[in-house]
């Protein structure tokens, strides 16, 4: 396949602390960030959805608070993050506003992408921002995350986010222009690998150890991120982010490493729903709804005749008619609320439940139909 940045419709960019924050002066690399914002604006102007996964809250906060270098205690990290998140969000908002782009901040923790109920919320919020042509800026919520429950690095967070929202490309900006057969700083015979079709044990063995004080990542976590991304249908690039306009450099053929996925986000997501999740209940639909689903429609409450099982919002359920299984999907309501609105038009949901729930019982993007 020819790798052209312009062919991707939804791109996640991961920007690390060491790129954003000048560790010597303890402040933002403003010129670099302004140049990256130019790159984002160019991609955005071509119609692509762009998301940023940004580290740097703790690094910026420790600078503002005057905390010494070296390891921080958990509560010091969380305090630094609380101060740094405001500064980081303001900075992204300002550099993107310069190009007429609205930024939206989303803070996530591990459980937001691991628990299906919160995963659906985070996904719906992000997709709505993209629909409104905003650029979501996503960061781990360091003010509440603890070492036991945190991602530990924003490379894997970026990969989770990319697969969550169906991105077709993830770009990890690093201090190196890709994966080498050995650490190039210590091995003069190390060779750059431009394309990785599959992440094998040999590829994993090439990934080195940890990185700088400012970041928690390393090449090892980038390869792990590659496994998450490619299994979710997302291509991934590791590229040197230190140059000005680093995205433009990739577009012009600059050296980087591509991790290729054999799938695409929609197919990978359907596979996950179809096979990896245990159904918690069954929705029986009428024949009209069954025909509509086969035609690519979402499942609306009006088409559901009865419900079996105890399930919660975000759980997988089996969708079937009286005669056959149609597929599986992630349901948008708890069983109790779903029972109250089946057979009813979507416009009546708020009056029945007392809150404006989703129009669909199961959205078509959250559904995998049987052949």
| Residues of each annotated binding site | 14, 55, 142, 154, 174-175
Query: By C-alpha distance, which of 15, 62, 329, 297 is closest to 174?
Result: 15
Binding residue numbers for ATP:
14, 174-175
CA–CA separation, 324 and 347 (whole Å): 29
CA distance 1 to 352: 51
Give the annotated binding-site residues for substrate: 55, 142, 154
Tokens of 303: 């088409």
* Residue 296 falls in which region: left (phi positive, over 0), alpha (psi -120 to 50) or beta: left
Q: Cα 334 from chain centroid?
A: 25
In sequence order, the 6+-apart residues with CB closer than 8 A to the CB of 249 are: 239, 240, 243
- The number of C-alpha atoms within 13 Å of 333 and in the hemisphere containing its C-beta is 27
The answer for residues whose C-beta is within 8 angstroms of residue 21's C-beta and 6 or more apart is: 27, 28, 29, 56, 59, 60, 63, 214
Residues 6+ apart with CB under 8 A from 125: 106
Q: Which residue has the tokens 């129009």?
A: 359
């Amino acid at each position: 396949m020819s790798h052209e940045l312009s062919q991707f419709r939804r791109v996640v960019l991961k920007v690390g602390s060491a790129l954003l924050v000048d560790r010597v002066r303890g402040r933002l690399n403003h010129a670099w960030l302004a140049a990256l914002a130019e790159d984002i604006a160019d991609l955005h102007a071509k119609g692509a959805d762009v998301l940023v996964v940004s580290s740097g809250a703790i690094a910026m906060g420790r600078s503002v608070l005057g905390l010494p270098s070296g390891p921080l205690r958990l509560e010091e990290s969380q305090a630094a993050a609380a101060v740094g998140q405001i500064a980081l969000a303001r900075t992204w908002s300002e550099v993107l506003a310069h190009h007429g782009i609205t930024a939206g901040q989303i803070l996530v923790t591990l459980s937001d992408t691991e628990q299906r109920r919160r995963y659906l919320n985070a996904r719906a919020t992000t997709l709505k921002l993209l629909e409104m042509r905003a650029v979501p800026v996503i960061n781990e919520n360091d003010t509440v995350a603890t070492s036991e429950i945190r991602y530990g690095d924003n490379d894997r967070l970026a990969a989770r986010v990319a697969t969550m929202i169906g991105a077709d490309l993830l770009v990890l900006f690093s201090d190196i222009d890709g994966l080498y057969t050995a650490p190039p700083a210590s091995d003069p015979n190390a060779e750059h690998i431009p394309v990785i079709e599959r992440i094998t044990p040999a590829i994993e063995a090439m990934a080195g150890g940890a990185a700088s004080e400012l970041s928690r990542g390393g090449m090892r976590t980038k390869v792990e991120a590659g496994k998450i991304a490619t299994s979710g249908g997302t291509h991934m690039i590791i590229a040197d982010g230190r140059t000005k306009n680093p995205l433009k450099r990739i577009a012009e053929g600059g050296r980087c490493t591509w991790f290729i996925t054999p799938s695409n986000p929609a197919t990978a997501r359907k596979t996950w729903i179809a096979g990896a999740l245990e159904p918690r209940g069954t929705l029986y639909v009428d024949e009209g709804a069954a025909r509509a689903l086969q035609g690519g429609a979402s499942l609306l409450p009006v088409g559901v005749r009865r419900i079996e099982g105890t399930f919660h919002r975000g759980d997988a359920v089996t969708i079937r008619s009286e005669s056959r299984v149609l597929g599986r999907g992630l349901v948008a309501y708890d069983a109790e609320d779903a029972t109250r609105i089946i057979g009813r038009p979507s416009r009546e949901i708020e009056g029945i439940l007392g809150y404006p729930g989703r129009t669909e019982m199961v959205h078509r993007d959250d559904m995998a139909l049987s052949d």
